[in-house]
């Protein structure tokens, strides 16, 4: 994602238009797009500030409020799948995709992998037979 234009450029563009020049003239003069000039004028009128908006996703996730419950659920009962967690979260009023739950568990440092019952490694089976 690109960086926002500097505040100084934004202020000069707005001042140029307020002196009576057209938006297209300002765009040619400052070598920016006409849409940028339009956006700066709209921003100046609506908020009175030329500060750029924050870029990217807002911090946190849908599951942040349920982090403690998820942590207890997975830690206390590790044999739970992502689909089971999605169903339980839906019962709590939170509709999320299983990938979202998986990423959230990864951020918490938890694993939800189930271990197959009754399967042994080759080394363990060799030791018992000998």
Say yes or no: 68 and 104 in one domain.
yes
Q: Is 22 a member of any domain?
A: yes
Q: Is 115 a member of any domain?
A: no
Q: How many CA atoms lie within 13 A of 33 on its CB side?
A: 4
Q: Rounded CA gap, 80 and 88, in Å?
A: 11
Domain that holds residue 38: 7-47
Q: Which residue has the tokens 């918490």?
A: 108
What parts of the chain have a pLDDT lower than 50? 120-127, 130
Overall domain count for the chain: 2
pLDDT in tens, 25-59: 999 999 999 999 999 999 999 999 999 988 887 77
Q: Is 2 a member of any domain?
A: no
- Helix (H) / strand (E) containing 19: none
Q: What is the pTM of this model?
A: 0.50
């Amino acid at each position: 994602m690109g960086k926002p234009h500097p505040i100084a450029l934004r202020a000069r563009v707005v001042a140029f238009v307020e002196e009576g020049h057209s938006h297209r003239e300002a765009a040619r003069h400052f070598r920016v797009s006409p849409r940028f000039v339009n956006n700066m004028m709209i921003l100046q009128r609506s908020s009175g500030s030329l500060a750029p908006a924050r870029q990217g996703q807002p911090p946190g996730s849908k599951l942040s409020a349920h982090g403690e419950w998820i942590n207890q659920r997975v830690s206390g009962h590790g044999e739970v799948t992502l689909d089971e967690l999605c169903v339980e979260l839906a019962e709590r009023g939170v509709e999320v995709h299983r990938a979202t739950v998986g990423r959230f568990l990864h951020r918490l440092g938890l694993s939800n992998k189930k271990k197959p019952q009754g399967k042994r490694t080759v080394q363990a089976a060799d030791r018992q037979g000998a």
